[in-house]
Chains A and B, each alone.
Chain A
Amino acid sequence: MGYIKGLFRGLGSLLTGMKVTFREFFTKKITEQYPENRASLKMYDRFCGELVMPDPDKCIACGLCQMACPNGTISITTETAADPQTGKPKKRLVKYEYDLGSCMFCHLCVNACPHDAIRFDTDFEHAVFTRSKLVKTLNKQQL
């Protein structure tokens, strides 16, 4: 009796598996044909391509990201200038240098930033001919 029950249960489970793959056979394929689909390519939001600073005014030059980075990828140059509104001396960001070549995309800098001034972008086409080109100044727009 258990033999016959087992036989039909086995057949049923095999058919379940075949149903799954049959549906998979007709679903849209996930393969991306990269160089051809450059125009329409949409990367996933959580993909980390490079560090960007969308709004340099948000940065308060606290240096937390520089301290959090295990590789020494980020180096911040600051100056102390008088704030035009209050007249008190305040730290100001001069240059935010980010070396893409030594970044390991660990997100520690993004997590450390108290003002969400930096985040990771999905742009991934970084091939260059010299390493020095990988060192990027993120607050370029301001200078």
Chain B
Amino acid sequence: MFDFGIITNWIHTQFTSVMSEPLAIFLECVIIGICLLLLYVIVAIIMIYMERKVCAAFQCRLGPQRVGPWGSVQVICDVFKMLTKEIITIRHSDKFLYNLAPYIVIIASVTAFACIPISRGLEILDFNVGVLFFMAASSIGIVGILLAGWSSNSKFSLIGAMRSGAQMISYELSVGLSILTIVVLTDTMQFSEIVMRQADGWFIFKGHIPALIAFVIYLIAGNAEVNRGPFDLPEAESELTAGYHTEYSGMHFGLFYVAEFVNLFVISSIAATIFLGGWMPLHLPGLDGFNAVMDAIPGFIWFFAKVFFIIWLLMWIKWTFPRLRIDQILTLEWKYLVPIGLANLLLMVIVVVFKLHF
């Protein structure tokens, strides 16, 4: 597997050879920040295009087709349209919180995005409690959503934000439990280390039954966590116009929209990292030739292939099922997912203690 750490170390030595160490680190941070935001935008654009195409295919349509080949320039045009639109200010709204809310959402999303190990040596935030940090960072977004609902002085926004709060705080628990199940199996919370442990088999194979249950729970809870259908009642179009971002326009709305899509990407990439081995190629023990061929494919291609497969799974779910009611959502979480998740955690502990895993 090619180690991108070689390149980053080389850049670091080049910088330190011409300037002082703190200045070099500051410059590197700026460069990484720019790259991160660029990647963020590119991922968002690809996701929106994919969403429209996959949705269309599930509904027996073709999707965007006119702008550019297969409608590929459509989303870029939409982004420019969004950028040129006016940001209106709502009378009787809390101006400061109203303008702050989209940035809190986007900061939480970018911070969670930075935790993802894309390839070997391409981890931005990677330390020994990375899983905890990721959970904490991604939960900040809920504050932004609640603020957006409260400050825009609209009943639709407030109801949407309140639903969103109840839903996201509940489902955080199931996400945490299913990640914890894998942490029990790996005995590490560092994302790069979690990936390295899967060199001889992905955790969904190594942890067999409990890992599979945790994977399914993670997909359901993760889907609810990012407010996407069938759990999209915070922004249920038919009843709440657009939920918590009803009163937003222009790029402020765009930030909420982009954050929603990148959150889906983040949830999928964490699922790919902890269950499907992240950038780790598919290795079958005993077949050295096969393993060598798999190793020849670069890590980031493995990573993105897995992530987009999981995103496709989630889109499949979204465009299949009707929206749940709020009481049904809470019943699903508290009466089904949490008890199953806890029992599954116990099962995983038993599997690990008696060494029943591969």
CB atoms of B320 and A30 under 8 A apart: no
User: Are A25's CB and B58's CB within 8 A?
Assistant: yes
Q: Does B50 contact A (CB under 8 A)?
A: no
Which of A15-23, A45-53, A88-96, A106-114 is found at the contact surface with chain B? A15-23
B18 within 8 A of A: no
The yes or no answer to A29 lying at the interface (CB within 8 A) is: yes
When distances are taken between beta carbons in the complex, the residues of chain B under 8 Å from A7 are 336
Within 8 A of B (CB), among A1-55: 7, 14, 17-18, 20-22, 24-25, 27, 29-31, 33
Considering the complex, give the chain A residue whose CB is closest to the CB of B54: A25
Contacts of A18 in B (CB 8 A): 316-317, 320
Task: Given the known inter-chain contacts A18-B316, A33-B65, please indicate yes or no for A24 contacting B321, CB distance below 8 A.
Answer: no
Is B62 a contact partner of A22 (Cβ separation < 8 A)? Answer: no
Is the pair B62, A33 in contact by a Cβ cutoff of 8 Å?
Answer: yes
Residues of A close to B65: CB separation below 8 A: 31, 33
Specify which chain A residues have a CB less than 8 angstroms from the CB of B57 in the assembled complex: 24-25, 29
In the docked arrangement, what's the CA distance between A136 and B59, Å?
41
Given known pairs A14-B321, A17-B321, A33-B65, the reply for A22 and B316 (CB within 8 Å) is: yes
Q: Are A21 and B320 in contact (CB under 8 A)?
A: yes
Residues from chain B with a CB closer than 8 A to the CB of A27 are 60
Q: Answer whether residue B308 sits at the interface, using C-beta atoms and an 8 A cutoff.
A: no
B57-71 contact mask (Cβ, 8 Å, vs A): 1 or 0: 111111001000000
* A29 B60 Cβ-Cβ under 8 A: yes
Query: With A7-B336, A14-B321 given, is the CB distance from A21 to B58 under 8 Å?
Result: yes
Q: How far is the CB of A132 from chain B (nearest CB, A)?
A: 35
Q: 0/1 per residue, B321-356, Cβ < 8 Å to A?
A: 100000000000000100000000000000000000
| A85 nearest CB across to chain B (Å) | 58
Secondary structure dominating the interface of B: loop
The residue among B58, B61, B320 with the most chain A CB atoms within 10 A of its own CB is B320
Q: How far is the CA of A14 from the CA of B59 in the complex (A)?
A: 17
Min CB–CB distance A35 → chain B (angstroms): 11
Whether B60 lies near A30 (C-beta < 8 A) is: yes
Nearest CB of A to B102, in Å: 33
Tell me whether A31 and B61 are in contact (CB under 8 A).
yes
Interface string of B40-81 (1 = CB under 8 A from A): 000000000000000011111110010000000000000000
Interface residue B319 (Cβ < 8 Å from any Cβ of A)? yes
Complex Cα distance A17/B321, Å?
7
Q: How far is the CA of A49 from the CA of B353 in the complex (A)?
A: 74
Interface code A48-70, partner B: CB below 8 Å = 1, 0 otherwise? Answer: 00000000000000000000000
Among A17, A20, A21, A22, the most chain B Cβ lie within 10 Å of the Cβ of A21
Question: Complex: how many Å from CA A30 to CA B316?
Answer: 19
Q: Is the CB of B320 within 8 A of A17?
A: yes
How long is the Cα–Cα vector from A103 to B126 in the complex, in angstroms? Answer: 71
**For the complex, what is the distance from the CA of A25 to the CA of B59, rounded to whole Å?**
7
Q: Are A29 and B61 in contact, with the CB atoms below 8 A? A: yes
9 extra A-B contacts, CB within 8 A, seeds A18-B316, A21-B58: A14-B321, A18-B317, A18-B320, A20-B320, A24-B57, A29-B57, A31-B62, A31-B65, A33-B65
Interface set of B (CB-CB < 8 Å, partner A): 56-62, 65, 316-317, 319-321, 336
Q: List the 5 closest A-B pairs by CB distance, nearest first.
A: A31-B62, A21-B320, A17-B320, A29-B62, A31-B61
Query: What are 18 A-B pairs at a CB distance below 8 A?
Result: A7-B336, A14-B321, A17-B320, A17-B321, A18-B316, A20-B320, A21-B58, A21-B319, A21-B320, A22-B316, A24-B58, A24-B59, A24-B60, A25-B316, A29-B60, A31-B62, A31-B65, A33-B62
